[in-house]
Structure 1
């Protein structure tokens, strides 16, 4: 496929908006695109995924938060993917992989499908953390809860420190974005797509209730290639409580998928 740069080249406004913390590393062997969880931001994954000079980390910033606070958030996964996909194309000129956390697992899965349909390069591997496989989803309407109900859901998942959830002024600013993210999850319908033909690595938390460690085995159905599953101590947000363990697991996986030249 010939990638047209047009208005979405490496220095375009769209690229800077979607990847605000990306710092090109000419010596990097690969790029790792990181897709945040519901209510999450690019800065969290950018700080967490410090993987050294051989990996160029590109954390994705959804609209409605941080550097894009004044932009309306997406409410449908398909709309986000159709907008983000073309922006990513110029950055697929070297080997790359995806890492998605919770909501980010859905975004990375759908982007993998989008790239395949577009005839674009495919990721060398896809990493899924704390994400329920779509075929196990049941109808939910979390996004229609009252503000207090939505804060209760965030508290149940351990999504933020108690002092943040108790700060009413701050939550008034954040809840519209969080609600939109939950709407993306609650309204998502998995399309009829063949499994990916790339390896997949999956991680879950020992104490997570959705997804449970057992349910994560179903991700195996989404790839025809190598599949690995590791359960890490912690609840849904083990990316915080077991950050080093997860980072080391990601590094090992990337080393397996992208062996160092000899």
Structure 2
């Protein structure tokens, strides 16, 4: 690995290596994928992406629009998106990687060999759930508790939550203000992962991602809720590494 950049805090891998770039869910950062780096095989470099507003980038304002976030990401890492690479995003991260691929296609950049998403309804579907970004603090904390993924002791610590909620609200805005614009179908393999008990994306909503690609499509469901990925990380990583090493 070469020097770290704000977007890739674990370092920029050589473009000659197969790479898997991972975009986190709302409120999370690159560190959420750190344990995955020990699980990926030697032939693939796992690259957790750090959007603004978290960890060492906490002084930077988080994006509230998927368009500005994708533009900034594509411009900052344009040299990385070449060769043999794949993209993965969970929840709002799924939306980001989907729009990133479409942005790369519009600008004539090399596309990933595979797109992986999880925990989000297909982008063309209307959002039928209540918006989270403007909920009063107590109601938002209750919703976070129902969603899972945040330790109860963190949710109970109001001073800590007061520091985390602005980032969460910004990330929720990225997801909730999104307006889908029809474009030609992607021409690449698309795999969708989901949790059987996910309150944010049910199986039909995940299956609707099929409408976004003319390439091979796979939907894999797992036991668990919105954060099923943590219990099934090894299986997910093995599946995502396969097209990069095969």
- Which TM bucket (shorter chain)? over 0.9
The match for 1:71 among 40, 49, 60 is 60
Residue aligning to 1:254: 241
Alpha-carbon distance, 1:127 to partner? 0.3
The match for 2:94 among 105, 108, 111 is 105
For the aligned residue pairs, the C-alpha RMSD in angstroms reads 1.8
CA contact (8 A) 1:206 1:231 kept: yes
Structure 2 alignment gaps of length 5 or more: none
* Stretch deviating more after TM superposition (75-84 or 128-137): 128-137
CA contact (8 A) 2:86 2:244 kept: no
Residue aligning to 2:151: 161
Superposition pairs of residues 1-262 of structure 1, within 5 angstroms: 16-22=5-11, 24=13, 29-50=17-38, 51-138=40-127, 140-240=130-230, 242=231, 245-255=232-242, 257-260=243-246
- Aligned-partner Cα distance in 2 for 1:59–1:211: 23
Equivalent pairs counted in the alignment come to 243
CA contact (8 A) 1:32 1:97 kept: yes
Residue aligning to 1:5: none
- Aligned-partner Cα distance in 2 for 1:80–1:253: 24
Structure 1 alignment gaps of length 5 or more: 1-9
CA contact (8 A) 1:18 1:60 kept: yes
- Aligned-partner Cα distance in 2 for 1:258–1:62: 24
Deviations 1:119-143 (A, max 9, x none): 0000100001111112223264321
- Aligned-partner Cα distance in 1 for 2:62–2:134: 16
- Aligned-partner Cα distance in 2 for 1:113–1:25: 24
More helix by share: 1
CA contact (8 A) 2:82 2:111 kept: no
- Aligned-partner Cα distance in 2 for 1:70–1:157: 27
